[in-house]
Every structure is written in structure tokens, then in C-alpha cells.
Structure 1
Amino acid sequence: MKPILSKIFLCGMLLLAMSCSSDDAPEIMEVELTCFDGILNGDEVTVDCGGACPGFCPTESEGILEGELVSRIQLEASVEYRLTGPYLVRDKAELSIPAGTVIKADPGKGAYIAVAQGGRLNVFGQPDNPVIITSGAQNPVPGDWGGIVISGRAPINGENLGRSDIIDIFYGGSTATDTSGVLNYLRVEYAGAEVNDRKFDAIAFYGVGSLTTVTRVQAFESLGNGIRFIGGTVNTKWVVATNNGENAIAMTNDWSGKGEFWHLSGSKNAGIQIRSDIENPPQTAIDSIRNISIIGPSLEIGLDYTSGNGRYTFTNVYTNGLSTGIRVDNAVVSSNIELGNLQLDSVEFDNPQIDFIPTNYTGDNTSFYTEATTDGAGNRAQLPNWTNGWTRGID
């Protein structure tokens, strides 16, 4: 039996060898494991695509951002990126963007960048080399794309967990010192696309915590608000909002962070709007906002107090070219002023429009604001030095 089995085995090996040498045999292509690691490396054109990696890729000068990020990646400043649709940074994922990077969003494609709870967005711009996220249109206009939506685990009023009113993402929690990353020297342009009768903000902070760093950011010509805070404890410093379609800054649902050095100009509605979508929200710690310039004339109202039950203190506020300094929208808000929940220390109404009124509030707490000569964000109506090199469109 053994000789017979040996012959059968030898015949089988011979047939196999002949088969493998056939010209019709399929070619086996090796694909490196790095093609699936979520990192731009090797000869890839963009993350996990190009070179030895399979699939369609853009040209070498262009990277595509769309879908979901579940790992940590760092973009390359030498690549001009396209944001072709929604791009979500998931829990434990991290998107880092170095100085000089430009990301252009495809208009009308529902493009936006969102950071889920536990995810991080790190923007490392420099004074003369900011990170720019803008429209990819040849002739860009406000509303060409969505904006940046960041969701954290910091407290929000009314409930422990909320759901964003613009995209399906949760926010809020009990971690006041939560972090969602770093934004430093960032300019966001032509955002504010409208979805279901609501507009994106250029940058929206939903329940974002105090260990998130937000310094030197500009919202330029958004169709919606420039920057909006929805609850949370995040602090900001050196903020510019220019020519936005609604409010320059919107403070919603008792944001309890701090703000310093804000230069707000040219927005359609108010420099700062205070409101709450929560019925009878609880009082929180005092919000402290100082060193603010609010510049008209297209921006007609300095501070628009529409609703809410938070406590707010503004210090060193300079305004120029307004028709109304402080607008109080209803009796509930008036009662909050009676309780001392809104205080403006040292505010200047410079160069007002004809028929200017400092405030339409008619209650008894006439000392809720005091007038003085101020320098606002650093240089009254003129550009403060800290805006040099990384901002645009400021007259």
C-alpha cells in the first residue's frame, strides 16, 4: 500500500505545481497592515489610501475628510484637505491639526466636523500661521458648510444629558473639568449652513469642560451665530467674531465659563445674546466676561438678554455705533435684573446711532450697569495687537 500512496502523493504535487505555473493564475497583491491603522504613513496619499494601499484616492495635494474617526491621526500642513461630508471624531479618537493646515469644505454637501463626548480636536496654529477651515467654493458665501460641533461631559442645566439641536449627538454630564482638546489660532470661515430650519454655528460648544483650551479663535462670516456656548464650563480668551449672520456670541442654557478679550463686530443681531431653552433653569455660578469690544453699525444691539436664569457679570465693555446698548426682552428677564443676576461694570457707549438708548429696561435696579471710559478688548474700536497675523476681515 505504501508505494501506491507515494505515487498518488507525487502525482498530486506535480499537478499542483503545473497549476501554479499557469499563466491564468490570479496575482496575489500584498497589502501592508499600515493601510488599516488610521494613520497617514508610508507612501499613502491620505489616511489609509494611496501608494501600496488599495482603493480610490484623491490627488497627492489633496486629502479627503469624511465619515468617522475612531483612532488618533495628525494631519499634514502640506496637504490641502477637503471636507466632503460629515466628519465625526468618536469617543477616544483624536484629530490633531498642525499650524498652516487648510481644510476646504465642499459647499452643499452637509459637511461639518463634530467631536463626540470623549473625542478630542487639537488645533495647533501659530500667530502668523493659523489653521483655517473654510469653504471650498470659488466664490464662497456664508452658509457654504456646517461648522464645528464639540460635545463634552461638563454639566448642563435642566438635565444631565442633552441632545444637540443641529446633529444627532449627545452632550453634558457631571465632569466640570472634562477636556475636548485644544483650539489655538483657529479661523473658521463661511460656516452656518441651514438644516431643518436651524443654522449651524461656526463653532458650537455643547457641554464642553474647563480643561478644554480655547484661545485665539475667529468665526468669520457664518450665516448663523459666530460662537455658541450651550451649558458647560469651557473658558475662552482672545476671541474674534466678524460679520456673522446672527449673533457674534450666543450664551445658552447657563454656560458657566469665563471669557476674556472678545472682539465682536459686524454681526446682524447682537454682540452677545443670553438665552435659555430650559423652563425655570436653576441658578449657577456667576459667569465672568471681561474686556469686550462690540462694534456696529450693522450690529445694532450690544447685549440681548432674551431668557434664562443664570448670573452674569461683564466688566470693561466698549461699544461703538449701536442703536441699543442692553435690550431686555420680557418681564422674566427684567425680574432677573431686579434680583441682581445681570451686572455690567464699566461699559462705554461710544459714537451711538441716532435715537440710541442705553437700555429698554424700566425696572428699579438702575445700577445694574455703570458707564465709564473703557478700552474693551484692548484698543477700543481699533484692532488690538493680539489679533495681528491670524485674523481677517476686521476693519
Structure 2
Amino acid sequence: MKKVFYAIAIAASIFTGCSSDDDDPIVKQPVEGEISGELATSKVFAYGNYTLKGMVKIKSGVTITFEKGSTITADKTNGEAGLIVLLGGKLIAEGTADEPIVFTEKSKVAGSWAGIIMYGDAPIVNSATAPAPQSAKSEDGLDLPYGGSNEQHNGGSLKYVRVEYAGQVITSNKKEHNGFSFYSVGAGTTLENLVSYKGNDDGFEFYGGTVSGKNLISYGNSDDSFDWQDGWKGQNNSNWFAYQTVKANYGMEIEAKGVNNAFGPKVTNITLKRAAGTVTEDQSEIQLDAIQFKAQGNGDYSNIIIDGYASQTTPTAFNGGAVQIKDVATYDNQVVGGKIKLTNVKVTNTPNLFITGATGFTVSAASFPGTNWGPTTTATGAALTGGKWATVDGVNLLANL
């Protein structure tokens, strides 16, 4: 009988060992591939490592999906490269906090590629006299029209996506790119947990439209961290973090093409930080303030932390400040007119609350009607949760938050 029990014990041990082996996790291997040309058929790119070659365009009616954890790498030695979502196309790139989707460039040099560009037909405003809907031509060298009347335009869903080393500038204001460029993108598009890392132009730029962005990080970009024009009016923006270092301009540059409009975007929970020693990119004008309003830019901003926008002594002496109003029209119509609201604002390591960018007016707390200017010591700014999506080469991008 003892031999029987011993045999059973041996068999059980063998069975248990086999079960343990069967339960070992299967490691999914990334596929390899190249993405180029016009994408005219909907496709899912499986988890993998892809080379992006040329200015790849997602055509109207086409949905392109990238699985979580994928890496898409451009190579500047192959020429200009970028991923463009044309009007009517959709990009679905939904990573996770620990399996982000990363768009990068082989050399890891800022300004090496064009980043992600998306087109929609949501409204823009670039003329006070032109009838609605209005349109304009893009400044990315593609010279494509943007603008329309579709406030709910849907260009897809970007979640936990990081763009690195973009912001390629070929001709200023005529052929330049950002980390993320959104032309007339509508409110049906999802933008959440996005990082623009060490680009050579703006981190995020909105050219009109109604889309909103949540949990956005603009880190180490050489121009503005967040920039918009053409009457962008996203209403559900929250948790924006800008960290500027080495060379940079404004934390947020806000304009509306000179149109005295009755609307503006709404952004809550903002942290704008500038590292010591950071200098403005363009030495011909003041561009080192946390927030600049110009050309009738306006909006509602709350729970803001501004830190480190100090005066610059070299190579050109400029005064640093929290808020710059560039021109008289913006001062008269947007500040005094009550269309700029900055509430629950905490300012540290910044010598001037306000900078006046032209002659003929002086900005002060008294310039803002009612409670439109609200300084505080208790603002909390952006609230973001870390993970691989916010980590580059072992550096936690949220360490300075």
C-alpha cells in the first residue's frame, strides 16, 4: 500500500510541475514593419516596432489603429517624415500608462520630424468680416485648407501617446511643425494623456476647432509649450503641465487672429514651470512669460501654478512675468472687457505679475473687472499620475511637477 501512495505522490508532483509550466505568461513578441505613403485602407498595426518613412497620410474614410505598446520611429536621414490624419480620416492610438504608444526619431535630436498632424472641419475664426464658416490654409507646408461648421468632428482617439523630438521647422510660419498639430479638430476627438517631448517648436498647437485635451505634458520644447489661434474654443481641458528648460518661449501663447470674439477656451488645473537658466528662443522680442495674450486672445483659466519665469539678463535682457498682454486691442477688449479670466493663480519665483507688451496701456490687477484676476497661495495646478507614458530614458517627466 505504501508503494501505491508513493506512486500517487510522484504522479501528483509531476502533474503540478506541468501545470506551473503551462501557467507561465506568454511574452508577446513585437512585429517589425515600415509605414509609408498614403494609407487608403483601414488597418490595425499590431503591437510592434515600426519605421515611419515620409509624410504618411491617413486618407478620408480610413481608420488606422495602433495597438498599445507600439513604437513608431522616424529617421531624419530619410527626409521629412510625419503622420498626417487628413479630414475624414481617423487615428486610433490608445496605449496605457505602462504600455504607451511612442512616436519618436532615431537620432533623438529635437526638430527631426513633423510629429502628428490632424485635420478636421470644426469652426475657426480668422476674420471679423468673413461669413461663417471660415477657412484658412495650413502652415505645415502641405498648404491644406482647414475650417468648417462641424463642431463634433471626430479624428479618432489618442490616449497615452508620446511624441518625441518633433517640431521640424523648414521655413518659419510657412513650413513648420509641432509635436501635435490640430487643424480645426472637433469635440468628437479624444485627446488624453499625451506627451510632447523635446521638440523644436510648440509642444501642442490648436488651429481653431473645438477639441479638448486632458492630462497633457509639454516637456522641453523650444518654442511655446501650448499655443493656439484661429478662435480655438475647447471647453473641457484639464491637467496641463509645461516644463521648460534650456531654450523656450511662452508657457501658453493665446491669440485669436485679431477677432474680438465672444467665446474662448476653458482650461482648469495648469502648471507652468521654467527651469533656472532657460532663455527665450527668439532674442528679438520678449517671449519668456508664462502666459501671453495677443491679437484678441481670451479664455477662462483656473487653478494655475506659475513658477520660475524669471527675468533674463543674457544674451538679451528681458523682464520675466506671469502674464503678458501684448497689444492695446487685447487689453481693451479682452482684459478690461472681461473676457480673460485667471482665477486661483499661485505665482512663485517670478518677479513680475504682469508685463505690458506695447505702449499706450499698463496692465495691473486693477485692469481685470470683478474677480477675473484671482491670486492665491493654495492653487494645486495639474494633477497627473506617472508611469511609462511619462518616463523617457529613465527620466520621470513628472519629477518637477
TM-score of the pair, normalised by structure 2: 0.77
Residue of structure 2 equivalent to 1:175: 150
SS of the counterpart of 2:37?
strand
- CA shift at 1:168, angstroms? 2.8
Structure 2 residue ranges without an equivalent (≥5): 1-29, 127-132, 280-287, 311-320, 357-361
- CA shift at 1:286, angstroms? 3.4
Residue of structure 2 equivalent to 1:387: 386
Corresponding position: 1:296 with 2:274: yes
Q: Deviations over 1:307-350 (max 9, x none)?
A: 23x54010000111112100111212211211112110110002
Distance 1:248 1:197 in 2: 17
Residue of structure 1 equivalent to 2:355: 360
Structure 1 residue ranges without an equivalent (≥5): 1-59, 379-383
Distance 1:223 1:63 in 2: 27
- CA shift at 1:162, angstroms? 2.1
Residue of structure 2 equivalent to 1:270: 250
Distance 1:75 1:219 in 2: 22
* Bigger radius of gyration among the two: 1
CA contact (8 A) 2:85 2:118 kept: yes
Corresponding position: 1:283 with 2:261: yes
Residue of structure 1 equivalent to 2:185: 208
Q: Deviations over 1:263-302 (max 9, x none)?
A: 11115011100123x3x42514232111000011337421
Percent sequence identity over aligned pairs: 25
Corresponding position: 1:219 with 2:196: yes
CA contact (8 A) 2:31 2:47 kept: no
Q: Deviations over 1:206-259 (max 9, x none)?
A: 000001000000000010000001100001110100000100000211101031
Q: Deviations over 1:154-212 (max 9, x none)?
A: 01113522221112322211110110000000000000111223431100110000010
Corresponding position: 1:232 with 2:232: no
Distance 1:289 1:94 in 2: 29
Q: Select the residue among 251, 263, 274 that pairs with 2:228.
A: 251
Distance 1:369 1:387 in 2: 31
CA RMSD of aligned residues (A): 1.7
Residue of structure 2 equivalent to 1:107: 76
Corresponding position: 1:163 with 2:142: no
Q: Select the residue among 326, 348, 351 that pairs with 1:350.
A: 348
Distance 2:379 2:123 in 1: 34
Distance 1:275 1:65 in 2: 36
TM-score of the pair, normalised by structure 1: 0.78
**How many pairs align?**
321
Corresponding position: 1:376 with 2:378: no
Distance 2:335 2:379 in 1: 23
Residue of structure 2 equivalent to 1:143: 111
Residue of structure 2 equivalent to 1:312: 299
Residue of structure 1 equivalent to 2:63: 94
Distance 2:125 2:151 in 1: 12
Q: Deviations over 1:334-391 (max 9, x none)?
A: 1121111211011000233xxx10002424524542111211003xxxxx4x233311
Residue of structure 2 equivalent to 1:153: 121
Distance 1:229 1:237 in 2: 14
SS of the counterpart of 1:133?
strand
SS of the counterpart of 2:186?
coil
